[in-house]
Structure 1
Amino acid sequence: MSSVTMRPRGRPAHTPGTTVLTYTPNGKHIITAGSNSAIRIYTVGDEGEPRTIDEGVEAHFGITATDNCFIIGAEDGTVWRYDLESGKMDKLLVRCALPVRDLAISSDGQWIAVASDELTVKVVNVDDMTNVKYLREQTKGSKHISFDPSGRFIAVSCTDGVLYIYSIASDEPELVRKIDGAIRRLEPEDEATSRVVWHPDGTAFATAQASREVAIFSTSDWSPQKSFSSVHNGDITALGWSPNGALLATAAADGKILLWETSTQNILKRYDFANVINLSWHPSINLLCFTTSDGELYIYENFVSTEYQPILEKRLESFSVRSGPLGETSGNARKQIPSRFKPGGADRPRRGGSPDSLDDILGSMDDDDNFVEDDDGAGYAEEINGFGKRTNGHLDDPESRDRKRLASYWEPTVHESFQPGSTPWKGNRRYLCLNLTGVVWTVDQESHNTVTVEFYDSEMHRNFHFTDPYRYDKACLNENGALFTSSSPPDDGPAMIYYRPHETWTTRGDWRTQLPPGETVKAIALSESYIVVLTSVNYVRIYTLYGTPFRVYRQKSPAITCAAWRDYVMTVGNGPVGHNGFASLTYSIENVKRDEICQNEDIVAITEGEQLKNVFFSDNGDPCIYDSEGVLLILQHWRTPGQARWVPLLDTKLLDRLSKGRKEETYWPVAVAQNKFHCIILKGGETHPYFPRPLLSEFDFKIPVSTKPSKTNEDDDSETVRNDAARFEEGFVRETLFYSLFQDLISTTNATRNQRAELARREVEIDKILLQMIAVECREGEDRGMKALELVGMLQDRSGKMIEAAVKIAQRYNRSILEDKIRNLGERRLMGMEEEDDELA
């Protein structure tokens, strides 16, 4: 074993977020998963690229492994088993209605325990998924779960700070002890840990306390006995015993990893590594792996320095929870001998019996023999025990090190799917939909949910409330009805779609339908004509309002979200990956009724690295988006294929209210209607609205254009002139945009007389703004005449009235040269119109 300790490099494994890891029991492989869909398989001792599996779902929170397979639990509530050799999905073991938070596997590899946001913990037989044991005593969701080394006990760490110890020795699990105060109260997404970490001999376990101490509990009476004193300056995020139990490693939010000696509770060494959220000891060699919230994996070879390696090389050491040591010959202590102390690296089946039974005698002989061989250092230990023996031969070979290359790689960053207008859980409630029609929210009642729908116009529609056994997690609301979907109903049922109209002339107007097994809902949309459902297999399913399947097709790019208005459907997905590693967002718009594609896989214009926060149609039917930069954009010319472009309507970072010292606020988008941006103001670093229901605010559009023309004089009114110029320029760009949008609308529909009159009125308004801009230029001086003449040329009026108005403005400010040029321009325009009329005749 090399005596040189080098600081490891961080290996970019996943996108930032929760990153989990595990070893295979034989120590050959390290498997990591994270917030993206990729799964990495590293070979211990190989510094090359890991094997990557891209078949997984996204947002992995739990992971465990055997020598032949590994099992991963995800935010979508699924627990999949993968074949280690092929990397293929082997079997769906469990489907939960709520996100899976942690996994644990029994020592014999036969049972997998699943902790999730559900109240019930499932313990599933790996070979027969129909063989399930249920742990039902919890009153809140579970954050962590762990088996004791014997596989007899399970510790469940709940989010309310209560620890449950179950015995699963019999077919019906038995609650052994409920311990309040052993762990801290945490939210499921908190990086701090409340995990129970069992000592390898099974006689004690460790937990992290809110006081940043590590408490030790005895399994004889489940009571606290000792503690590792608080030294960390931040919440403890991970902890783990060495394979022989003689050392303990702890990581915390203060950017430190501490190495403790178990027998003395003294700190042996401190390491500086930031954002560590998971760590794990190698089962047989001096190596510690840990992951960070940045998505990186560290493989720390020779983690325990030379002076402390004799402690790591001891045989299994029982932890002394009281003044006297626990008997080393106890059943738990003797049965849980690490594989590195056994010939061949495999655990020999043991018989129960007295401490001096034949198995124990043979075991002690094997341990002593191996211990001597390891100290001998003659090099033949590896021939005897293969991978089971502690060896660093593959690390010490200089020629082997020369052959290894430090490789770097990037992982494509993709956008997560989301439901427009919804918020995540906070406490036991969340908003499913929030728009100008009303609000839909749900409350978790443990055994079921309750859904409330409230309308802003209570005279037109009556509020309603119902019990929700399906646990709907997405909703849409408009003037016609309410749409609900449940991605993963209880009892592993199929995804459910439910539509409820506000008014009906029949006895029953609402309806339900189900998706095929294994297909879940990513996003939904509701228009005046259709219901749109985006699913996990990238299907776009379109139904009529009363449940008739109208169209089904597969989206070209992985689905993110959708929106609908009248006969139009807009879908958004992850597109090609750019040079920066970010997947570009693409959108498609189709007219469902006419079966016409308006835009096909065009690019959504958001800045590199930013996120899409909302997608919706304006009240006039134009697609809009709002991004994490706080910019609201609208899609111009979207009805003409290949002509669409995104135009910024408002940059909330440039709002006047922020320049007045209100810097700690952001805006949660709701709608674009009545020529206003409707939103909810979030203060104090909040990212989503919460209860009680917040008030809606509205802001005028303000397209970000150049706001300060160059100074030309120092007159007292120069500042006023510059402000007027900026205001008129922005108004001209904005009104021209809305004129264009309205023109596109009436050109593709049967325009009414009022609509045609409205278009003419908008044209006149643009000309009025141009006249005001001409007046500003005339006020600036004669040297601004060229720009004033340019503005005259932009007038749309064909009757000549606006040209005459421009002449009068020039006369008012005594701009005689400009006046002559405007008259000449008017005459040329009139002559051109006459020639055009002659050609038409």
Structure 2
Amino acid sequence: MSFDPLRPRGRPAHTPGTTVLTYTPDGRRVITGGSNSAIRIYTVDQDGEPKTVDGSIDGHFAIGATNEILLLGAEDGTVWSYDAVSGKMGGLLVRCALPVRDIAVSRDGVWVAVASDELTVKVVKIEDMTQVKYLREQGKGTKHVTFDPNGRYVTVSGTDGILYVYSLTNEEPEVLRKLDGVIRKLEPDAEATAKAVWHPDGTAFAVAEATRDISIYSISEWKKEKSFAGGHSGDITSLSWAPNGTLLASAGADGRIVLWETKTQKIIQRYEFGNVLNLAWHPTKNSLSFTTSDGELFIYDNFVPKDYESQLQKPLQAAPIFPGPLTEISNNVPRTLAERSKEAFQRPARAGSPDSLDDILGDDEDMRDFVDDDDGAGYAEELNLYGKRPNDSLEDLDGPDTKRVYSGSLQPKAHLPLQPGSTPWAGNRRYLCLNLTGAVWTVDQETHHTVTVEFYDRELHRDFHFTDPYQYDKACLNENGTLFSNNPSDGSPATIFYRPHETWTARADWRTQLPEGEIVRALALSESYIVAVTTKDYVRVYTLFGTPFRVYRQKSQAVTCAAWRDYIMTIGNGPVGADGRHATLQYTVENVKRDEICQNEDVVALPTGAQLQSVFFSDSGDPCIYDSTGVLVVLQHWRTPGQARWVPLLDTKQLSRLAGGRKEETYWPVAVAQEKFHCIILKGGDKNPYFPRPLLSEFDFQVPVSSNPPKESESEDAGNDGSRFEESFVRGNILLSLFRDLISSTNATASQRAELARKELELDKTLLQMLAIECREGEERGMKALELVTMMNDRNGKMIEAAAKVAQRYGRGVLEDKIRDMAERRIMGMGDDDELA
């Protein structure tokens, strides 16, 4: 080989054998360990001799570092800490019974994960070695361990060829996936690598395959997305992403280091270096360091050729996990009725599965909120490093015109268009829809988007994704299909596209264009109709097969819409509110099929200055809204014109989990179903869900009755003042009222009538418990006790008889007589008006 003046010289560091290295996060030092006891600390940009530390232990197989501390794992099963500057030994951090094979330090420098020939991986807090978490699912010893950049996952590469993925979002780690066939089976001391190397954006990881190709797996679907092929003719020994994710370096037993371009998976350069075991990029410079089995360290400055050096100057780039051409994996082919029936009988119960949403809490990651200027109105002044605009610079879709509500000096603020279930851009991706059916999310690839549709119930539907040249910016998802719309910035007409999940004929996808200059503000999808509200304040209603069914103009400027069965709800900006600054919101609810208006241009009950965060129908068909103050309200008596009112079901700021300021969190609304509020918990200052798809949480309704609602664990025997039962009574009354309205407007089934009787009985039981508290307090509370009895729904007299027995139990003779007298009056058909006299 001819002499190359730019080629770095090897620096003898250790005796031949395994040699490991790492940079400190600030890039000031590169540290190596090897088969001897020495630890070398090299100062970057200095050619002098490194600081040598005698570790007193031979065989350092693993290494990690923070800016202050070095961690070395050894063949004797120990992990020792050292001062990163002086090299002074700090102390023993972890002890294993078998050799340590790998360690990984979390990005925040708080935790270190230790993989060894033992079956259990230990995750230890660096500042407090007594705090340990255990990863126990491995069937054999582990060869590698890595944290994802956001600290939510740990990947463990087992010598059995299985990649284990653990979630760290809860107090105790939970195994999320066991990925078989992703990595190779390797001996613990093999030079080939099976490590899952995380892309810096945390959405994907790279692994070396037995075919000597490099595969990229996304954590959104935990499946292979892309491959870097044809780079090596020998086993791959190390992988390393450039700090911003634009480039990938790989080393192989074929004596080559290959530099790849991430976006295209093309080879940029090949370098001839033999016996390379480990690679590490400098955190900020164009420099790559690597060690060899000869015990040498190479620091290769200007590693990336000049033609590609600009790649390293880019901000953090997205992982190359975007799908190519349309990929149909939905399995939604037509099936016969007999086949569907057979599947229904064979489908196992899913109790306790993730899609049941029971007792699951989501966690979060730091994420900025961004929105795109869909109409080019020029309302965003600043761009972040992804070319997106912060939320606080967002104005209405119509630009300045929408803000000029009137020509005076004071310009009231109109509510911006709202697509329920969607999020702003976070980098180059956003959710178009998140609900109890699943999620629709998109990725901006500059020239086009890629859309992924995921379902919670994969027994009914398979996930699918496709290349999106239309750049859809709104979506709806339910059990029947997926609805999209776009608002092109090049002057092309806005498009609405519907894709059913199943049909008994050929695929019935359809697409329609809106008139020129008309933009979709919000979409809604029900079991019967598709609704779009537009910038011309039109409400456009289509059937599920694309037939235009109704078009009319809203009386107020359109903001958003929702749909359930034959009902649609539209919301628009109304007159200026009491503060003179914010426009009120007005809503209309109508039955499209019967062409009947239930509520017409009534006011949405929002506190002054509050913003609408979501609007949706509950699973039983009641309109609900969630606002920026953290309150969930439902529309009561909405089927009767002029009788509707907004009733609070939950004030999230009064949840017991937030008492005393123990937690700083907010809640992103998803749905109301099964008499629970389903949401995503956002930690700290986050305002929108993160990627990958977060877990859902659920909370019982809790009507804000008192300033300090008691915990559910309190009981009347512990001196409870009854506030818990009072809240339960008010809540039960609301739910009973909603259910009565439902069955009175439909042909009630026998099960619905039985459910109504059950709800009335539960409400009477609550009153009975409140009565017991009043009786216990003394005779002077007798009038309130009698009042509680008059509120009972008692159909057959049994609950009133029980109330008399409660009064008898506490020795309230006068109250007992009045209760029995009231019972006789009811039997005789007399009213209760004079019962309290």
Per the alignment, residue 544 of structure 1 pairs with: 543
Deviation at 1:180, TM superposition (A): 9.9
Per the alignment, residue 577 of structure 1 pairs with: 576
TM-score (norm. length: structure 2): 0.50
Per the alignment, residue 448 of structure 1 pairs with: 448
Give distance in 2, aligned partners of 1:425 and 1:463: 22
Q: Any residues of structure 2 matched to 1:203-352 within 5 Å, and which? A: none
Per the alignment, residue 824 of structure 1 pairs with: 821
Change (3 A) 1:749 1:556: same
Deviation at 1:797, TM superposition (A): 1.2
Give distance in 2, aligned partners of 1:500 and 1:413: 36
| Aligned match for 1:746, one of 738, 743, 747 | 743
Give distance in 1, aligned partners of 2:636 and 2:545: 32
Give distance in 2, aligned partners of 1:455 and 1:835: 53
What is the RMSD computed on CA atoms of the aligned residues? 3.3
- For 1:346-384, what per-residue CA distance to the aligned partner results, in whole angstroms no more than 9, with x for missing partners? xxxxxxxxxxxxxxxxxxxxxxxxxxxxxxxxxxxxxxx
Judge conservation of contact 2:442–2:449 (CA < 8 Å) in 1.
Answer: yes
% identity of equivalent residues = 69
Per the alignment, residue 514 of structure 1 pairs with: 513
1:664 aligns with 2:664: yes
Q: Which amino acid in structure 2 is aligned with residue 424 of structure 1?
A: P
Per the alignment, residue 523 of structure 1 pairs with: 522
1:532 aligns with 2:531: yes
4+ runs of 1 displaced by more than 4 Å? 178-190, 707-710, 716-719, 833-836
Give distance in 1, aligned partners of 2:530 and 2:548: 9
| Aligned match for 1:814, one of 811, 814, 823 | 811
Per the alignment, residue 727 of structure 2 pairs with: 730
Deviation at 1:829, TM superposition (A): 2.3
SS in 2 for 1:682: strand
Deviation at 1:185, TM superposition (A): 9.8
Per the alignment, residue 213 of structure 1 pairs with: none
Q: Which amino acid in structure 2 is aligned with residue 570 of structure 1?
A: M
Judge conservation of contact 2:564–2:617 (CA < 8 Å) in 1.
Answer: yes
Per the alignment, residue 412 of structure 1 pairs with: 412
- For 1:156-179, what per-residue CA distance to the aligned partner results, in whole angstroms no more than 9, with x for missing partners? xxxxxxxxxxxxxxxxxxxxxx99
Q: Any residues of structure 2 matched to 1:84-103 within 5 Å, and which? A: none
Deviation at 1:493, TM superposition (A): 1.4
SS in 2 for 1:730: helix
Deviation at 1:424, TM superposition (A): 0.5
Deviation at 1:447, TM superposition (A): 1.3
Per the alignment, residue 556 of structure 1 pairs with: 555
Deviation at 1:510, TM superposition (A): 0.5
Q: Which amino acid in structure 2 is aligned with residue 525 of structure 1?
A: A
- For 1:629-669, what per-residue CA distance to the aligned partner results, in whole angstroms no more than 9, with x for missing partners? 00000010000000000000000000000015433100000
Per the alignment, residue 774 of structure 2 pairs with: 777
Per the alignment, residue 631 of structure 1 pairs with: 631
Give distance in 1, aligned partners of 2:654 and 2:520: 37
Give distance in 2, aligned partners of 1:780 and 1:468: 68
SS in 1 for 2:629: coil
1:804 aligns with 2:801: yes
Change (3 A) 1:587 1:709: closer
Deviation at 1:763, TM superposition (A): 1.3
Per the alignment, residue 466 of structure 2 pairs with: 466
Per the alignment, residue 643 of structure 1 pairs with: 643
Change (3 A) 1:757 1:552: same
Deviation at 1:579, TM superposition (A): 3.6
Deviation at 1:719, TM superposition (A): 8.3
| Aligned match for 1:787, one of 784, 787, 792 | 784
Give distance in 1, aligned partners of 2:715 and 2:599: 48
Deviation at 1:726, TM superposition (A): 1.0
Deviation at 1:831, TM superposition (A): 2.2
Give distance in 1, aligned partners of 2:543 and 2:669: 28
Judge conservation of contact 2:450–2:465 (CA < 8 Å) in 1.
Answer: yes
Q: Any residues of structure 2 matched to 1:45-84 within 5 Å, and which? A: none
SS in 2 for 1:619: coil
Per the alignment, residue 34 of structure 2 pairs with: none
Q: Which amino acid in structure 2 is aligned with residue 501 of structure 1?
A: P
Change (3 A) 1:772 1:542: same
Deviation at 1:803, TM superposition (A): 1.6
Give distance in 2, aligned partners of 1:834 and 1:650: 35
1:759 aligns with 2:756: yes
Q: Which amino acid in structure 2 is aligned with residue 748 of structure 1?
A: S
Judge conservation of contact 1:500–1:511 (CA < 8 Å) in 2.
Answer: yes
SS in 2 for 1:461: coil
Per the alignment, residue 655 of structure 1 pairs with: 655
SS in 2 for 1:659: helix
Judge conservation of contact 1:480–1:502 (CA < 8 Å) in 2.
Answer: yes
SS in 2 for 1:657: helix
- For 1:655-714, what per-residue CA distance to the aligned partner results, in whole angstroms no more than 9, with x for missing partners? 00001543310000000001110000001200000101110000000001136799xxxx
Per the alignment, residue 721 of structure 1 pairs with: 719
Change (3 A) 1:820 1:835: closer
Give distance in 2, aligned partners of 1:828 and 1:507: 66
Give distance in 2, aligned partners of 1:691 and 1:805: 54
Deviation at 1:783, TM superposition (A): 1.6
Judge conservation of contact 1:443–1:451 (CA < 8 Å) in 2.
Answer: yes
Change (3 A) 1:563 1:446: same
SS in 2 for 1:518: coil
Structure 2: gaps (5+ residues): 1-262, 264-308, 318-367, 372-381, 385-391, 395-402
Judge conservation of contact 1:707–1:726 (CA < 8 Å) in 2.
Answer: no
Give distance in 2, aligned partners of 1:445 and 1:189: 16
Q: Which amino acid in structure 2 is aligned with residue 722 of structure 1?
A: N
Specify which structure has the higher proportion of helix: 1
Give distance in 2, aligned partners of 1:568 and 1:184: 47
Per the alignment, residue 475 of structure 1 pairs with: 475
Give distance in 2, aligned partners of 1:718 and 1:512: 60
Deviation at 1:722, TM superposition (A): 2.6
SS in 2 for 1:705: coil
Give distance in 2, aligned partners of 1:430 and 1:773: 49
Change (3 A) 1:807 1:447: same
Q: Any residues of structure 2 matched to 1:193-204 within 5 Å, and which? A: none
SS in 2 for 1:492: coil
Change (3 A) 1:821 1:529: same
Q: Any residues of structure 2 matched to 1:567-716 within 5 Å, and which? A: 567-581=566-580, 582-659=582-659, 661-706=661-706
Q: Which amino acid in structure 2 is aligned with residue 591 of structure 1?
A: N
Deviation at 1:566, TM superposition (A): 0.1
Give distance in 1, aligned partners of 2:466 and 2:709: 58
Per the alignment, residue 365 of structure 1 pairs with: none
Q: Which amino acid in structure 1 is aligned with residue 457 of structure 2?
A: D
Structure 1: gaps (5+ residues): 1-138, 140-177, 191-207, 211-274, 278-294, 296-406, 711-715, 837-841
1:768 aligns with 2:765: yes
Aligned length: 445
Per the alignment, residue 175 of structure 2 pairs with: none
Give distance in 2, aligned partners of 1:835 and 1:493: 68
Deviation at 1:477, TM superposition (A): 0.1
Q: Which amino acid in structure 2 is aligned with residue 584 of structure 1?
A: T
Deviation at 1:492, TM superposition (A): 2.8
Q: Which amino acid in structure 1 is aligned with residue 813 of structure 2?
A: S
Q: Which amino acid in structure 2 is aligned with residue 455 of structure 1?
A: F
Change (3 A) 1:276 1:695: closer
Q: Which amino acid in structure 1 is aligned with residue 510 of structure 2?
A: W
Per the alignment, residue 435 of structure 1 pairs with: 435
Judge conservation of contact 2:725–2:766 (CA < 8 Å) in 1.
Answer: yes
Deviation at 1:749, TM superposition (A): 0.9
- For 1:547-576, what per-residue CA distance to the aligned partner results, in whole angstroms no more than 9, with x for missing partners? 000000001100000000000000000001
Question: Which protein shows a greater Rg?
Answer: 1
TM-score (norm. length: structure 1): 0.50
- For 1:290-344, what per-residue CA distance to the aligned partner results, in whole angstroms no more than 9, with x for missing partners? xxxxx9xxxxxxxxxxxxxxxxxxxxxxxxxxxxxxxxxxxxxxxxxxxxxxxxx
SS in 2 for 1:670: strand
SS in 1 for 2:670: strand
Judge conservation of contact 2:539–2:552 (CA < 8 Å) in 1.
Answer: yes
Change (3 A) 1:188 1:567: closer
